Amino acid sequence: MVLTATNQDRASLRKTLRQARRALTADQQQQASLALLNKVRDAELLPQSGHCAFYLSNDGELNPTPLIQHCWKIGLSTSLPVLHPFTRGHLLFLRYQHNSAMQHNKYGIAEPKCEVTNVVPLLQHKVIFTPLVGFDLNGNRLGMGGGYYDRTLASLKSATGIRLIGLAHDCQQVDALPFQNWDIPLHMIVTPNRIIKC
Ligand SMILES: Nc1ncnc2c1ncn2[C@@H]1O[C@H](COP(=O)(O)OP(=O)(O)O)[C@@H](O)[C@H]1O
Ligand SMILES: [Mg+2]
């Protein structure tokens, strides 16, 4: 279903969904992050080799850290988004290792220190795991409202084979998400309990 949305709709949805994920207890968050690892492993969603992009959880987001550590164990390279130093509103992906030097960005989110030698070009990723605020069964994604992933992934619109997989708690699902023509849809959403192919 195609819905048009006002900024107001999107803003109030974001508020409700962010409150729901922040209401999860530390125990629930920990169990969810381990369940996520098992889901991704059992469904063999990780590539055999190459780069996978993740994020560090913030604001009640599903925590992919156990999954990142699993990638390190099996020799997969992981990257994290950083706010692009030159192109405003875009993300740049930087290699993330257990000993990466980190700093906090303007949103208070930890990101690898921006060194050009650690940049992983977007097209070198096999999978990009994104956080999200809300999702629906069609793969529509509502983010925090900055449009960072939409801008950064806009160049992937023509098929590149890169899989975009949203990670979320089950409480972040909505029936039909209002979306705009700049929104980049996801190929799949993984929750601690479900894998949704879109
Ligand atoms: N490809 C793009 N080019 C230019 N502006 C964009 C692009 N994608 C998103 N934006 C802008 O980013 C803002 C936030 O986008 P939105 O989809 O609401 O956020 P989010 O995806 O974080 O939920 C919008 O005002 C939109 O105009
Ligand atoms: Mg968007």
In a domain, 1, yes or no: no
* Structural domain boundaries enclosing 174: 7-197
Q: What is the pLDDT of residues 84-115, one digit of tens each?
A: 999 999 999 999 999 999 999 999 999 999 99
What does the DSSP 8-state code read for residue 104? E
Among 91, 100, 104, 95, smallest CA distance to 150 is for 91
67 pLDDT exceeds 90? yes
Token couple for 143: 């983010």
DSSP 88: T
The arithmetic mean of pLDDT across residues 78-83, rounded, is 98
* Interval 124-155: pLDDT, tens: 999 999 999 999 999 999 999 999 999 999 98
Contact indicator for 78, 52 with CB cutoff of 8 Å = yes
* Residue 162, in any domain of the structure: yes
Which residue's CA is minimally distant from atom 23 of ligand 1? 143
**Distance, CA 20 to ligand 1 centroid (Å)?**
23
- Which numbered ligand comes closest to the C-alpha of 133? 1
CB within 8 Å of 152: residues ≥ 6 apart: 81, 84, 90, 91, 122
Average pLDDT over residues 174-194: 95
Q: Give the count of domains, the chain.
A: 1
Nearest CA to ligand 1 atom 13: 147
CA of 98 to the centre of ligand 1 (A): 32
Q: The domain that contains 56 carries what CATH number?
A: 3.40.50.10420
Give domain status of residue 71, yes or no: yes
Any domain includes 177:
yes
Residue with tokens 């000993």: 99
Q: Does residue 76 form part of some domain?
A: yes
Q: What confidence score (pLDDT) does residue 3 get?
A: 45
Q: Which two tokens stand for residue 28?
A: 């629930």
Q: Quick check: CB of 150 below 6 Å from ligand 1? A: yes
Tokens of 93: 């992906």
What is the residue type of 32?
A
Question: Does the beta carbon of 83 sit less than 6 angstroms from any atom of ligand 1?
Answer: no
